[in-house]
Amino acid sequence: MKTVVQCKTCKKEIKINGIDSRIELKKIKGREFELYCDNCKQKNIYGVNSVYAKISYFKYFLILIITTVISFLLFIYFYKKSNHNPSIFYHLFYMIFVPWMFFFVYLKEENKSIRNFNRYRI
Ligand SMILES: [Zn+2]
């Protein structure tokens, strides 16, 4: 997930890095804080509740690629290893199932974090 606030002047998203919750943000920056927008070069005051979490598509995409590569490498590995072994389909199952399981668990956890962040208001 990524945490952003919408610029009050140009409506573009300003990223806020390194926070997991609004409570944490309040502890670090206070209930209200000033932010500078790189797009319109304006400074505005924002409240903790105006910050929200959303999906980071870049991160999803990256993890999707990593999962695909791991699946592929596992496939090569098991394919070579079980050259004359009819149980290749058994390995095939695990090499696809295991990495993709991790991917979907990750997606689920990520969505949960986003929901939790957005639900908790101060
Ligand atoms: Zn702006």
Regarding whether 77 and 34 lie in a shared domain, the answer is: no
Confidence (pLDDT) at 84: 63
The number of distinct structural domains making up the chain is 2
Nearest to 110 by CA among 49, 64, 47: 64
Task: Tell me whether residue 65 is in a domain.
Answer: yes
What's the 35 CA to ligand 1 centre distance in angstroms? 10
Confidence (pLDDT) at 72: 86
Regarding whether 77 and 98 lie in a shared domain, the answer is: yes
Rounded CA-CA distance 11/33 in Å is 17
Regarding whether 46 and 76 lie in a shared domain, the answer is: no
Regarding whether 92 and 48 lie in a shared domain, the answer is: no
**Structural domain that includes position 108:** 57-116
Regarding whether 66 and 98 lie in a shared domain, the answer is: yes
Regarding whether 43 and 68 lie in a shared domain, the answer is: no
Regarding whether 109 and 63 lie in a shared domain, the answer is: yes
What's the 16 CA to ligand 1 centre distance in angstroms? 14
Confidence (pLDDT) at 100: 87
pTM of this structure: 0.79
Regarding whether 109 and 79 lie in a shared domain, the answer is: yes
What's the 14 CA to ligand 1 centre distance in angstroms? 8
Confidence (pLDDT) at 3: 96
Residue 8 DSSP class: T
- The DSSP secondary structure of 30-90, one letter per residue, reads -SEEEEE-TTT--EEEEEGGGEEEE--HHHHHHHHHHHHHHHHHHHHHHHHHTTT-TTHHH
CB 19 within 8 A of CB 28: yes
Name the stretches of the chain with pLDDT < 70: 84-86, 88
What's the 44 CA to ligand 1 centre distance in angstroms? 9
Nearest to 95 by CA among 80, 115, 106, 114: 80
